[in-house]
Chains A and B, each alone.
Chain A
């Protein structure tokens, strides 16, 4: 359906969850090996997740430099977990959940800092370099539409659509009840559909509104 431009990678297509080439080593096994000291296991995890995690920050932060920095910080946090319980890896949890939870915590801290600084010192210059040159229009259009969603709804939608987390994983990462994730995801999709369809035609909006009223 979508044409991948040369030199770009759609992280959903290479996502480890759908990757069937290495059935013998799951993320969790690799993580277990890494906690026992195997740097090779970390290398494999890194190559699996470098692009998804980079995309995770890249889509959420306008400034590519900040996204790079946060990507590095996330991997560093996994390399050297702090003593806080939230940053510890529990063998029961899936590695993806752990990775995105760590990333999400760092993202939140970054947002807090940026908001704080912007409030008291004025906004820092933020480069709005498009993620990919030839999809600049798509990015701007989607960013604009997504920015109109409720913060939490947007987060749930992004985790679902780009990070391909299932509902349970989203609930774990965001620390929300499962039902909330489901209803908010539906709300976010309905709203986004409206926003994306708004410039063109209205009929679909009406259909969605009807659906929402029935829920």
Chain B
């Protein structure tokens, strides 16, 4: 009998023996089994297999188990809400319980540790909060200096004298200023804002012997302001300058394609007017950044004055010598040369003094006005074809970059990854083998 003669599949025969096919099918299979010896042999073998399995008998359920279940069923019938009793054989977990928990706790602790370390590492890279914090601290210290300087200025409104006393006074004032580490550069600002904070709570007691003479402070302010319209703001700026008798040392208006316009100006405002001028400037728009600084130039100024005085005295003495006209002509010429040199020095020092006083009298305000960027409605778009082309080119480049990136990544990290893989694969393979072995047993 060859294979083509089998009209029923072996599975059909099995299903027939198991009684899993319909009556008509069963008749067909049964008829075939009578004809086909091979299929009949298969049917016999299947039956024999089942018989050999059925020989495996199980002893009757132990009576104690039966009693135990019946007891539980009785309890359950009396009250469904009763707590679930312990398992039939108690202490099922006890030999493993503690080891299980020990391993569990250990691994959780390890996971938490790894997480903490990685979080700490990433936090260290993130400097932003720290910067904000230090800014806040700086502004706090600024306010305390405000109070200190205001106090000092109130007590120092006497004519200035030169000499030892004044030097001592300056030393005291510097000591006051430097009580806070970041305060020194802010001293000028504090002076400017002094009127607001006069009588500040944080002010230290005034120095016992206050020598006359106020500090000379060259102030500079930098402002970044976002405005709606630069043109409008510019005329407002001119108005403010006129009102406070200031002037602009430099003014720069830029405008480029697809970006907002911006105006940069370097203004000079008379120092006493600075606070009110600043307040007016701030009304131009929303202030994005403001920084103020002051440089104390009192000592520099006084040195200059002293040197100037000496130079003038020297000049006077030379002139006196010249007026006596008792020497040789070469001596006279020498004196003339000396006078010219001293005169030059005096003039350069006078210019320096003037510039210094100018810096003190006129505060420097660097202002930057930037416009909110409004995308133009009728901006000329590229044609659809060009854009499709550009997108295609960009897509091609991106794909190339991505592929290259992959390649580079594997070139760069591949060897170390392979090492790690080899290290980690070993325990995994061992565990897996053990798992397979153990699993096949149950």
Contact = CB atoms under 8 A, between A and B. Distances in A.
B10 A7 contact: no
B74 A39 contact: yes
B10 A79 contact: no
B422 interface: no
Given A119-B435, A215-B11, A69 B20 contact: no
B254 interface: no
A43 B41 CA distance: 45
Contacts of B45: 193, 204, 207-208
A12 B54 contact: yes
A51 B57 CA distance: 11
A16 to B, nearest CB: 15
A11 B431 CA distance: 40
B3 A79 contact: no
B76 interface: yes
B9 A215 contact: yes
A183 B11 CA distance: 7
Contacts of B72: 72, 75-76, 79
B103 to A, nearest CB: 7
Given A39-B74, A111-B442, A189-B14, A5 B57 contact: yes
Nearest to B17: A189
Interface residues of A, number: 69
Contacts of A207: 38, 41-42, 45
Is the interface on chain B under 10, 10 to 19, 20 to 34, or 35 or more residues? 35 or more
A50 B66 contact: yes
B49 interface: yes
A207 B44 CA distance: 12
A207 B103 CA distance: 53
B427 to A, nearest CB: 12
Question: Among B9, B18, B431, which residue has the most Cβ atoms of chain A within 10 A?
Answer: B18
A54 B134 CA distance: 75
B420 interface: no
Interface stretch (B87-95, B323-331, B369-377): B87-95
B14 A186 contact: yes
B49 A2 contact: no
B97 to A, nearest CB: 11
B103 A120 contact: yes
Given A118-B441, A135-B55, A167 B18 contact: yes
Interface string B412-442: 0000000000000000000100110011111
B42 A131 contact: no
B60 A9 contact: yes
A183 B20 CA distance: 13
B98 to A, nearest CB: 11
A19 to B, nearest CB: 17
A115 B435 contact: yes
Interface string A135-147: 1001100100001
Contacts of A55: 58
B57 A211 contact: no
Given A119-B431, A167-B18, A214 B10 contact: yes
Interface string B61-88: 1100110111011101100100010011
B124 interface: no
A189 B60 contact: no
Interface in B386-433: 431
Given A119-B431, A186-B14, A189-B14, A139 B56 contact: yes
A186 B10 contact: yes
A51 B11 contact: no
B58 A59 contact: yes
Given A115-B439, A119-B435, A211-B10, A132 B89 contact: no
Interface in A191-209: 192-193, 196, 204, 207-208
B141 to A, nearest CB: 60
Contacts of B442: 61, 111, 114-115, 118
A204 B18 CA distance: 21
Nearest to B62: A68
Contacts of A192: 49, 53
A8 interface: yes
A175 to B, nearest CB: 19
Contacts of A54: 58, 61, 65
A118 B438 contact: yes
B59 interface: yes
A55 B57 CA distance: 8
A196 B54 CA distance: 13
Interface in A97-124: 111, 114-115, 117-121, 123-124
Given A42-B73, A123-B438, A161-B50, A4 B57 contact: yes
A135 B74 contact: no
17 contacts: A8-B59, A10-B54, A39-B74, A39-B77, A59-B56, A68-B62, A68-B65, A68-B88, A76-B72, A114-B442, A117-B100, A121-B100, A135-B56, A142-B56, A192-B49, A193-B46, A215-B10
Sort A-B residue pairs by CB-CB distance and give the 10 closest, nearest first: A39-B77, A55-B58, A54-B61, A118-B438, A79-B76, A211-B10, A58-B58, A161-B53, A72-B88, A131-B58
Interface of B: 3, 6, 9-11, 14-15, 18-20, 38, 41-42, 45-46, 48-62, 65-66, 68-70, 72-74, 76-77, 80, 84, 87-89, 92, 95-96, 99-100, 103, 431, 434-435, 438-442
